[in-house]
Amino acid sequence: MMLLRAKATPDEITSMSTQYQGYIKVVIDVVRGVLVGGAERHVDEEQMLLADGSKQADLWGGGIDWETKEIDYNSMINVRPGQQNPSRDIMDISIRKQFDVIIGELLL
């Protein structure tokens, strides 16, 4: 897995896509605009961002399928009743939009 603060290079995309053959699991800090991708589990990506200075409340998980360029907002780390998100999906539309923007800036 790797932490991205700038647009990924093609080699970095290839590396992150290896775990799931073209699908990249990501955790994004929607406030700092950084992303960790390529791990088997979101929790490991989350830990990397927390170690990098992120706040838990700003971290959201999902994925992007590199073959279809479709994004999903599904992760076990998203279950946060205290933030009005009782689901594994990101329910807040504005957070989803931020998620999309950062994926667009760092991956697509």
Residue numbers of the site for other proteins (CB under 8 A)? 20-23, 25, 41-42, 63, 65, 67-68, 70, 72, 74, 76, 88
How far apart are alpha carbons 52 and 87 in whole angstroms? Answer: 26
Give 24 or 95: the residue with its C-beta nearer to other proteins: 24
Which helix H or strand E contains 29, and what residues bound it? strand 23-29
Query: Do 32 and 11 form a contact (C-beta atoms < 8 A)?
Result: no
* Nearest CB to other proteins, comparing residues 13 and 53: 13
Which residue number, 74 or 83, has a Cβ lying nearer to other proteins? Answer: 74
